[in-house]
Amino acid sequence: MMRFARLAVLLLGLSPVGAAVPLRAQETSAARDAIEQDVPDDFYCGERKLGQWFYCVKPKPAEAPPSATPEPLVSAADRIATISKQLDELKARAILEPTEANVIAYVRFQREQLDRASTFSDTWQRALWQNPDLDYTLQRPVSTVGKRLWLDNRTSLGQRYGLFYFYAQSCGACEVFAPILRSVTDSHRMSVMAVSMDGGPNKEFPNYVVDSGQRSRMGVPGNETPALVLFDTQTKRTIPVGYGVLSADEIMDRIFMLTNTKVGSDY
């Protein structure tokens, strides 16, 4: 009886405690353990010859290829610097070694940069034509007709503004500046009140007055001469124009900017 029981255990694959475990389940479990341990089972994978579509050793996951490091972006300023450096190098090489190849290389590269500059200039001009707020010539005309209209607008300044001219007879710069100021005021019909800081006369402005505190009341700092101050007859406000010798164009440019333009609009 005991011999029969042992034979049954061997035939049925019973466990020592009496629980029946199918042989196929044992084989599958053994194969799974072998796969998890990366060790092939001799019986399950060797003798049974399962074929090429069955693997006994769990394949290792393929390693991901190293991600390509993106090339650092080169700024436009660095690109311009590189082009300039390369142009200088080609030029120096063509001068030091004036072979035909070196000269041609320099001329070709230079021509490429000239074409690039020409394209930029053309695009710039088109952008100004299509965006009038960017076109400075609308504020400061460059054409003959535009300049005439712009100057005509400036000649009307004398109807509202006058000038105080502070000078001194002992001032050499005042002798140079007085004739310039006289020509400007005559051409633009602007009245001038000459104020002598030392009581001396002025041949360009014989109807002068001696300073009796006018300068300090106007808030004109210091005692530098010559000094030019604009007076607004409507607002009764004084506006310093400048000190020292100024040219005729400088005088009118400053007066026009101080009276007809906002800060930053004429640049």
Q: CA 166 to CA 51: how far, in whole Å?
A: 113
4 in helix, strand or coil? Answer: helix
Answer yes or no: are the C-beta atoms of 181 and 255 closer than 8 Å: no
Residue 92 scores a pLDDT above 80: yes
* Phi (first) and psi of residue 132, to 5 degrees: -60, -25
The average pLDDT across 27-33 equals 54
Closest residue by Cα to residue 227 from 237, 235, 239, 213: 239
Closest residue by Cα to residue 218 from 144, 141, 164: 164
Q: Please name the residue that has the structure tokens 């341990």.
A: 37
Q: CA 252 to CA 154: how far, in whole Å?
A: 8
Domain ranges in the chain?
2-47, 78-130, 156-260
List the single range of 40-54, 141-155, 236-250 with lowest mean pLDDT: 40-54
User: What pLDDT does 86 receive?
Assistant: 95
Residue 166 scores a pLDDT above 70: yes
The pTM of the whole model exceeds 0.85: no
Is beta strand 192-196 parallel, antiparallel or unpaired with respect to 161-167?
Answer: parallel
Q: Which CATH architecture has domain 156-260?
A: 3-Layer(aba) Sandwich (3.40)
Residue 56 scores a pLDDT above 50: yes
Q: CA 7 to CA 93: how far, in whole Å?
A: 100
Residue 81 scores a pLDDT above 90: yes
The average pLDDT across 156-183 equals 88
Residue 50 scores a pLDDT above 70: no
pLDDT confidence tier of residue 153, bands split at 50, 70 and 90: low
User: What pLDDT does 237 receive?
Assistant: 87
User: Burial letters for 73-111: b for 16+ Cβ neighbours within 10 Å, e otherwise?
Assistant: eeeeeeeeeeeeeeeeebbebbeeeeeeebbeebeebee
pLDDT confidence tier of residue 252, bands split at 50, 70 and 90: confident
